């Protein structure tokens, strides 16, 4: 039993360290995992293709139409108040200031948050639109 508790503490420390990583740190971590351990993270496009394939399989298996419950929150435009939107993304989604700015700079089509519930997606959309952003739920 003690070993499991000890491992949980180690895992919690790792999780805490991961949360505090910068974008540069994450890129370096990805490189180490890939080169030294052969672990390659799935790309966003591969992930989206998997989701589409799963959705297509589910649609083929179910004759009745189901309401979509999982959404991606996408920034189409920051509108006229770019700084407010950057701060809003930082505060609402928990991204760093640099990550938030990069998301705004790469709009349209920037995915702000993946696979969130309908309620959370609508809440984020409402708050970011109040700041002037143009948001789409996919």
- pLDDT tens-digit series, residues 51-80: 666 666 665 555 555 677 888 888 888 888
More confident residue, 55 or 4: 55
Q: Residue 1 CB: number of other CB atoms within 10 A? A: 5
Going across the sheet that includes 70-77, the strands are 110-117, 70-77, 134-137
DSSP state at residue 115:
E
CB 136 within 8 A of CB 76: yes
Which helix (H) or strand (E) segment holds residue 100: the answer is helix 97-105
Integer Cα distance of 113 and 106 in angstroms: 14
CB 85 within 8 A of CB 104: yes
Residue 117 has pLDDT above 70, yes or no: yes
Residue 45 has pLDDT above 80, yes or no: no
- Calculate mean pLDDT across residues 117-125: 86
CB 78 within 8 A of CB 114: no
Integer Cα distance of 121 and 137 in angstroms: 7
């Amino acid at each position: 039993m003690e070993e499991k508790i000890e491992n949980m503490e180690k895992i919690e420390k790792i999780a805490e360290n991961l949360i505090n990583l910068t974008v540069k740190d994450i890129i370096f971590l990805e490189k180490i995992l890939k080169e030294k351990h052969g672990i390659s993270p799935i790309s966003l496009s591969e992930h989206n293709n998997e989701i589409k394939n799963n959705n297509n399989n589910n649609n083929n298996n179910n004759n009745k139409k189901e309401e979509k419950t999982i959404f991606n929150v996408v920034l189409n435009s920051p509108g006229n108040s770019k700084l407010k939107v950057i701060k809003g993304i930082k505060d609402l989604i928990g991204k760093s200031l640099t990550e938030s700015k990069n998301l705004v700079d790469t709009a349209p089509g920037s995915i702000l948050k993946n696979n969130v519930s309908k309620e959370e997606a609508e809440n984020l959309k409402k708050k970011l639109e109040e700041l002037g952003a143009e948001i789409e739920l996919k």
